[in-house]
Amino acid sequence: MNKYATRPDLSRIKDSAVDIVVRQIRDLIAEEGLKVGDRLPTERELCTRFNAARNTVREAMRILKAYGMVEVRPKVGATIADNRMSRAFELFSFNTMEVSRKTFTDIQAFRDLLEVGSAEAILERCSDQDIEELRSINLQLAEIHDLEEASEFDFAFHVRLISILDNAAILDVYTVMKPVILRIMLKGKTRRTFKTETYNEHEGVLEAMAARDRLAFQYRLRNHLMKGFRNFSEELEASI
């Protein structure tokens, strides 16, 4: 009996035919131990395995390709890929020209959770070299005259800060979030703000790090993030 052609259980009866095939293809990849670069069965073979219509299999493959799990190349067919991060980046960066208040609030709250919430770990792990490199980035921020370039250095400061945690998953998340974070920085600050307020707020955070003062670190970093929130909110209120 073809195990891939079995009917779904009642708990999944509301799934569409495409959803079922997507799940079955993912199960096939896991069960057969397929790795990046390995070929998937042909479209016809998948139709037979899953007792599914060709259009259903094609749509399922399109979804897996959108997820970055599969690549389809001429004369090669479908192969296993690992483009999930780049696909997530594309999805997250799409249409960031207009950032809503809800988006801003959600992003800043998430950053607070990661950066402020990790205060104890950051202070425990940080070295004099970490602080020196952060201060170097901040000094460059003070010299920048271009708003977009200033946003890049502001972002670089925070990425360098969380890199102290030595957590690749968190850095990946920040890479995905970068387009919308930069957009928020551009909307909430001016060139003068970057050269004065943002620079001084960063310095205050660095002073707290050097003193290993957790409460001061949390207070100053949270205040820094919330300062941007207030600026962004006021701009939105004025435009309504």
Summarised one tens digit per residue, pLDDT across range 18-48 is: 888 988 998 898 888 888 888 999 999 999 9
Inter-residue long-range contacts of 136-139, CB under 8 Å, 24+ positions, other chains counted: 138/199, 138/202, 138/203, 138/206
Write down the domain spans for the chain. Answer: 3-82, 88-239
Output DSSP code: residue 80.
E
| Among candidate residues 49, 53, 57, 45, the one with its CA nearest the CA of residue 3 | 49
Decide: 177 and 92 in contact? Cβ < 8 Å.
yes
Q: What is the average pLDDT across 53-75? A: 84
Q: What number does CATH give the domain 3-82?
A: 1.10.10.10
Q: What is the average pLDDT across 84-102? A: 58
Indicate the pTM of the whole model.
0.60
Over residues 184-238, the pLDDT tens digits come to 887 766 666 777 888 999 999 999 999 999 999 999 998 888 775 555 554 444 4
Decide: 108 and 228 in contact? Cβ < 8 Å.
yes
Decide: 64 and 18 in contact? Cβ < 8 Å.
no
Decide: 92 and 85 in contact? Cβ < 8 Å.
no
Q: Determine what percent of the chain is predicted with pLDDT higher than 70.
A: 78
The CATH topology of domain 88-239 is Four Helix Bundle (Hemerythrin (Met), subunit A) (1.20.120)
Q: Enumerate residues 6+ apart whose C-beta is below 8 A from 158.
A: 111, 115, 174
- Please check whether the two domains, 3-82 and 88-239, share a CATH topology: no
User: Tokens 């790795």 label which residue?
Assistant: 35
